[in-house]
Amino acid sequence: MKLLRFMAVALSGWFLAGAAQAADPVNVYSIWPENYARPMFQEFEKATGIKVNFIRFSSGEALARVIAEKNNPRIDVLFGGPVETFAAGIKEGIFQPYKSPSFAKLPARFKQADGQWTAIADDPLVFMTNAAFLKGKNLKAPASWDDLLDPAYKNQLQMADARTSGTAVTRIFSVLEVNKRDEEKAFAYLKKLRQSVQLYTKSGGGGTLPVGLGQAGGGIFFIVDALETKAKGYDVVISFPKEGIGTSAEAIALIKGAKNPEGGKKLIDFATSAAMQSKLSEHKVNFVPANPDVKTDPALAEVLKGANIFPIDDEYAGANRKRIVDRWVKEVLGPQ
């Protein structure tokens, strides 16, 4: 009997899911983790009365799905995620250019010239180390890229795999910039760094929990994930290399062929404006706002104070990404 009722519910569910939804809710794939995205969508619903249906995927998965669904898009907006994911999407022709009211006032690196994507936040990389690990090895928090080559770090670091993670790509381009784009020097460093790496993880934040728990000594992560680890109560130390480290913009884009483009545009207007980005600090989501009208949260600003952070050059990264990642896979990743 119960089974029958379940089946009835499920069958009606199929029909509902199959039929086109009424215009109202906006359908979204979020690359931001749910705990960052959910409060933002709740704020949007509060402000506009429009509900957001969303599901979270890592950047590669989200992009693969949007490409697979190209002929019959299931969503209206791709939300969050590093711009290099969006750059790959442009090549596949999956976005509908749209310029929100905030578009004009954003600096050039926070938008695609045609409006294919717009940045909603900025996310610098940091070094994050386990405090107990530092104490046990009698080390100071790493303050230079070369510090990570110290034998004390051998087999101790976890960081992301460049095949899946935008975090890793930003990290590799940081090393290139620090080495004045001299690829030979940069790869010589990356190969040496390999000796310190215990594991390359699938997702950018994959190593944060192991570092928090002391399974790993440290790693290189986006600041939003590092501060979240700290907020959870794990005793970790955040530091920056004196040579500088890269930052990556987080973007939003309208999907070509979206079933609810008007709702999608409203969400983009909201996400790129001060209305949403001023709520980031309130919800303890430690992205740096992209909109110049929004002040960075004081606590976050304190962490960033004095740090040498540079943006990754979009054009250079876009033109060389595939080649550099391929080279990294071939020369650095494999069995050593």
Partner 1 sequence: MAARGLAAETRRMLRDPALLGAVVVLWLLLGLFVLYPLAELLVRAFSDEGRFTLEPLLGSLADSHHRAAFVNSLILGGTVGVLGTVLGFLFAMTATRAGLGRHWLTLLDAAALLPLVSPPFTTSIAIVFSFGPKGFISHDLLGLDNVSAYGFWSTALAETLTYFPIAYLTLRPIIAAIDPNLEEMAFSLGGSRWRIFRTVTLPLAVPGFANAFLLLFAASLADFATPLILAGNNFPVLPTQAYLQITGMFDFKGGAVLSLMLLVPAAAVYLLQRYWVGRRVYVTVTGKVGQRSRSRAIAPWAAVLLVVATVLVAVAILYFYALLLYASLVVAFGANNSFTWQHYHVIFTEGLPAIRDTLIIALIGMPLGGFYGVLVGYLIARRRFPGRQAMEIVSMINYALPGTIVGIAYLIAFNDPPLALTGGALIIVACYIFRYSPTGIRATVALLQQIDRSLEEASASLGAGSGQTFRRVTLPLIAPAFFAGLGVVFIRSMTAISATIFLVSLSWTLITVRILENMTELALGPAAAFSVFVIVVVFVVVSGLSALLMRLRTPMAGAAARSLLGG
Query: Can you point out the beta strands (E) in the chain?
Result: 26-30, 52-56, 77-82, 95-96, 118-130, 157-160, 197-201, 218-222, 236-239, 245-255, 288-289, 309-311
State the nearest-atom distance from the C-beta of 169 to partner 1, in Å.
Answer: 10
**Which residues 140-159 are close enough to bind partner 1 by CB under 8 A?**
154-156
Q: Which stretch binds partner 1 (CB under 8 A): 99-107, 233-241, 292-300, 302-310?
A: 233-241
- Interface pick for partner 1 out of 45, 48, 51, 69 (rule CB under 8 A): 69
Q: Which residue type occupies 266?
A: K
Q: Does 135 bind partner 1 (CB under 8 A)?
A: no
- Name residue, tokens 């299931």: 74
Structure tokens at 303: 């962490």
- Whole-angstrom Cα Rg for the chain: 21
Q: Does 197 bind partner 1 (CB under 8 A)?
A: yes
Q: Which stretch binds partner 1 (CB under 8 A): 4-12, 262-270, 288-296, 297-305?
A: 4-12
**Which residues 15-54 are close enough to bind partner 1 by CB under 8 A?**
16-18, 27, 33-35, 53-54
Q: Count interface residues toward partner 1 (CB under 8 A).
A: 70
Q: Which stretch binds partner 1 (CB under 8 A): 176-184, 200-208, 240-248, 288-296?
A: 200-208
Q: Does 96 bind partner 1 (CB under 8 A)?
A: no
> Looking at the DSSP assignment, which residues form a beta bridge with residue 200?
159
Nearest CA-CA partner of 199 in 187, 186, 211:
211
Distance CA 44, CA 267 (A): 7
Distance CA 120, CA 133 (A): 35
State the nearest-atom distance from the C-beta of 130 to partner 1, in Å.
Answer: 9
Q: Does 198 bind partner 1 (CB under 8 A)?
A: yes
Residue placing its CB nearer to partner 1 in the complex, 108 or 336: 336
Could you give the angle at which helices 261-272 and 34-48 cross, rounded to 10 degrees?
110
Q: Which stretch binds partner 1 (CB under 8 A): 61-69, 255-263, 267-275, 292-300?
A: 61-69
- Interface pick for partner 1 out of 100, 129, 164, 277 (rule CB under 8 A): 164
The torsion defined by the Cα of 172, 178, 182 and 186, in degrees rounded to 10, comes to -50
Go through the chain and tell me how many residues it has: 336
Nearest CA-CA partner of 123 in 38, 204, 218:
204
Site map for partner 1, 247-276, x if CB under 8 A? ------------------------------
**Roughly how many angstroms between the first and final C-alpha of the chain, as a whole number?**
60
- Interface pick for partner 1 out of 1, 3, 104, 113 (rule CB under 8 A): 3
Q: Which residue type occupies 7?
A: M
- Interface pick for partner 1 out of 51, 74, 242, 256 (rule CB under 8 A): 74
Residue placing its CB nearer to partner 1 in the complex, 216 or 251: 216
Long-range own/partner contacts, residues 223-227 (CB < 8 A, 24 or more apart):
223/123, 223/124, 223/125, 223/126, 223/286, 223/288, 223/300, 223/303, 223/304, 224/36, 224/123, 224/285, 224/286, 224/287, 226/126, 226/128, 227/286, 227/300, 227/303
State the nearest-atom distance from the C-beta of 99 to partner 1, in Å.
Answer: 26
- Interface pick for partner 1 out of 151, 298, 306, 334 (rule CB under 8 A): 334
Residues that bind partner 1 (CB under 8 A): 3, 6-7, 9-10, 13-14, 16-18, 27, 33-35, 53-56, 58, 60-61, 63-65, 67-69, 71-72, 74-75, 88, 92, 154-156, 161, 163-165, 197-200, 202-203, 205-206, 208-210, 212-216, 225, 228-229, 232-235, 325, 329-330, 333-336
